[in-house]
Structure 1
């Protein structure tokens, strides 16, 4: 696991997982929101956004979290691991609400900008039905060489982290 792409609906925990993996695996992390928006939270031109991703994934070691279906081929073609957080919509909505209550909107310390709109809520509610098939199609087309880890619950995320924590603590080996 040297080049990890993390995808999933809003509120699925992409940024949190990316930060936890960074701590465990000592890989640099890039949050797509940081590439997608400028300092004033304006969308950057698509070409600039894609070029910035190409520069990140050209490296040998990285974690990139975020959706951006249009540029998934850029990340998936270079990833050795794709983590698909396919959590239930109501759990994702609950996470968004908790984040709003915790940070009171705006940009929080992890770099996510808390902007709740009708469109973003619709995206979360329909992600599994409308967007997950596109994610799977991009994985099939561009991520054939990557190991796919699809998780559907917070428990599975925690088990993944626990499994990775053992080797990380033992210098990269599974034997204790």
Structure 2
């Protein structure tokens, strides 16, 4: 467990889990949201975005949190472990709305990217189980040699990772 990709819907708890695991496993942590978004929600350019992920994935160890489906294959090819937070849509929407109402800035986001309520994002979260989840499982099936952990909460993920550490040690 030296290269861990954490994926899932927005609001699933990827960043919170990533911080906890980075401390537990003493691994460098990269939040894709922080790297993708520039000030005031400026998107990274596609070629540079893919190249940055290739560079990150080439490092000896890491935890990378974020889904970004268009470049997911880069991380899946490089990681040894995938944690898919397959969290209920209601919980994801609740967390996204709560985050918007009570947090001005997330530490896993770029400077100048303040929380905002976005109906398009809420709609994306609502449709994630029917539109994106099947695509994620298709991608995961292309990497049968990876240790794939599918859980419905960060707490379950932490418990499973502790068990894996004990079994390896």
Shift of 1:159: 3.4
TM-score (norm 1): 0.85
Q: Structure 1 residue 67 and structure 2 residue 67: aligned?
A: yes
SS of aligned partner of 2:34:
helix
Separation in 1, partners of 2:5, 2:163: 21
Shift of 1:34: 2.0
Separation in 2, partners of 1:159, 1:37: 29
Does structure 2 conserve the Cα–Cα contact (< 8 Å) formed by 1:35 and 1:53? no
SS of aligned partner of 2:63:
strand
Separation in 2, partners of 1:72, 1:139: 10
**How many residue pairs are counted as aligned between the two chains?**
165
Separation in 2, partners of 1:7, 1:116: 22
Q: CA RMSD in A?
A: 2.1
Does structure 2 conserve the Cα–Cα contact (< 8 Å) formed by 1:24 and 1:164? no
Does structure 1 conserve the Cα–Cα contact (< 8 Å) formed by 2:37 and 2:109? no
Does structure 2 conserve the Cα–Cα contact (< 8 Å) formed by 1:82 and 1:146? yes
Separation in 2, partners of 1:160, 1:129: 23
Does structure 2 conserve the Cα–Cα contact (< 8 Å) formed by 1:84 and 1:150? yes
Separation in 1, partners of 2:37, 2:65: 14
Separation in 2, partners of 1:99, 1:159: 22
Shift of 1:54: 0.4
TM-score (norm 2): 0.88
- Structure 1 equivalent of residue 140 of structure 2: 139
- Structure 2 equivalent of residue 76 of structure 1: 76
After the TM superposition, list the runs of 4 or more consecutive aligned residues in structure 1 that deviate by more than 3 angstroms: 162-167
Describe the shift of the 1:136–1:163 C-alpha distance in structure 2 as closer, same or farther (beyond 3 A).
closer
Q: Which runs of 5+ in 1 are unaligned?
A: none
Does structure 2 conserve the Cα–Cα contact (< 8 Å) formed by 1:5 and 1:83? yes
- Structure 1 equivalent of residue 157 of structure 2: 160
Q: How does 1:111-122 map to 2 (within 5 A)?
A: 111=109, 113=113, 114-122=115-123
Could you give the per-residue CA deviations for residues 52-94 of structure 1, whole angstroms, max 9, x where no partner exists? 0000000121011111111011000011111111111000011
Q: How does 1:51-66 map to 2 (within 5 A)?
A: 51-66=51-66
Q: How does 1:33-112 map to 2 (within 5 A)?
A: 33-104=33-104, 107-111=105-109
SS of aligned partner of 1:110:
coil
Shift of 1:40: 3.9
